[in-house]
A and B are shown apart, each in its own frame.
Chain A
Amino acid sequence: MNLIGEIETLRKKEYYRAVLNKIEKLVRELRKRGIEKINIMHVCGTHEHTITYYGIRKTLPDAINLIAGPGCPVCIAPSYVIDNAIKLASGGVKIYTFGDMVKVPGSKSSLLDAKANGGDVEIVFGFLDAIKRFKSQGVKEAVFLGVGFETTAPTYATRIAKKLIPNGLTILTALRITIPATRFVLNLPQHEISGVIAPGHVSVITGANAWSFIPRDFNIPVVVAGFEPIDVIVAIYQILDALVKNEPKTMNEYSRVVTWEGNKLAQKYISEAFEVKDGDWRGIGVIEKSAWEIKTELEKYDAEKVYNLTRKKDEGFRKNCKCADIILGLTVPTDCPLFGKACTPEKPDGPCMVSIEGTCHIWYKYGGHT
């Protein structure tokens, strides 16, 4: 098998051009029917990366508007979760977390500030890494600050459900579920979404079937897509084709990785470790049944319970920061007065500029605004 040949095939300009020609034809067909604007939303930071990095928006007909929806778990972690982690770090509890999380400001400061003030804050690349470090460092008390969506939740769930966590280590979670968030966004009266591109690796866990509520409840097509430019452009083609044929349905463009049923084992661990609750999304508010919280019978692993942490009001974002509207796909980074001026990756004002999965960060870095 010529593997490189296959990759080259995926990247061949002629293939991209051929799909684009088909897209242009379908757009003309939709125009004939009086449809002038086709809004397609995705809900994944990596899709936004592909779209921006490869300049996909510029290659599409003007009628197609690609909207970045909620695809950044770091961006929507409520301010009180970060504040609580800072409080613990200031009180002598070691904090393990992901690199992006240390830079995101809570209501006043960040974990990086707490570290500068003597707090013990260490960056890890996952929960297992935190467990290994905790054991090898001989730490007595530590908290892993764990954020994430469907892809990340099972990586914590296994260790919690199987009780493979050493004494003294607990988890402060801000786990959110993209599926109810997508429903929330599609229900916003400001949006007129014609189709959705669903995230490939979230769907590895959930299965492509998990997105079937979109055609069922919103009467629009959804395509689970991979992260190559050709994946995104094929997903757009499939959405347009379904619109022309008036056949809203769930499609799986990424079948080389994603199954219809998903990772059943991961789903089992999630249901054993967590219960679904209403969840705060930073700056957005409460989204029904959108959070996974550690089950009461496993609360000895839950830092919120162990340290009696309170959930104060989510403070949202700083004044003039447009992160909330950007996460909801209601505006774009270039419409934020702070973008690229008072807010840059070096000196970010809001989490969308901090996180490498944030739309502002991606647009700033790769020029989505040009």
Chain B
Amino acid sequence: MKLCVGIPAIVLEVKEDTAIVEVNGVKKEVDCLLVSEIKNGDYVIVHAGAIIGKISESEYKELVNLLREMEEAVTY
């Protein structure tokens, strides 16, 4: 994983201090303490297992596209 780039994800379920997100078609449980008011369907940036920011749908698509080209994203 890269330590200075975020991974785009979609929030599927919000729990107490974590959320289930979809990254590259894979479900992951990530920390959601760093961003307030996260809700289902939000587009977010995940970094080192934590949501660090919300993004727009178009930014999500753009980042997905970018990361597809980085083979490192596959190993995430």
Q: Which residues in A have some Cβ–Cβ distance to B below 8 Å?
A: 1, 3-4, 6-7, 10, 44-46, 49, 53, 71-74, 98-99, 124-129, 132, 147-149, 151-152, 154-155, 158-159, 162, 164, 199, 201-202, 204-205, 227-228, 256-257, 263, 265-266, 269, 356-357
Contact = CB atoms under 8 A, between A and B. Distances in A.
A151 B52 contact: yes
A147 B31 contact: no
Top 3 A-B pairs, shortest CB-CB distance: A126-B49, A155-B50, A126-B48
A204 B47 CA distance: 11
Nearest to B28: A125
B48 A158 contact: no
Nearest to B5: A46
B4 A149 contact: yes
Interface residues of B, number: 37
Contacts of A149: 3-4
B62 A148 contact: no
Interface centre among B1, B30, B48 (most CB of A within 10 A): B48
Nearest to B69: A53
Interface string B1-32: 11111100000000001100000000001110
Contact of A49 (B45, B55, B70): B70
Nearest to B72: A356
A72 B5 CA distance: 11
Contacts of B33: 158-159, 162, 265, 269
Contacts of B61: 3-4, 6-7
Contacts of A4: 61
15 contacts: A3-B58, A46-B2, A74-B3, A98-B1, A125-B49, A126-B50, A127-B31, A128-B29, A148-B3, A149-B4, A159-B33, A164-B17, A205-B52, A257-B59, A263-B52
A127 B47 contact: no
B63 to A, nearest CB: 8
Contacts of A154: 34, 50, 52
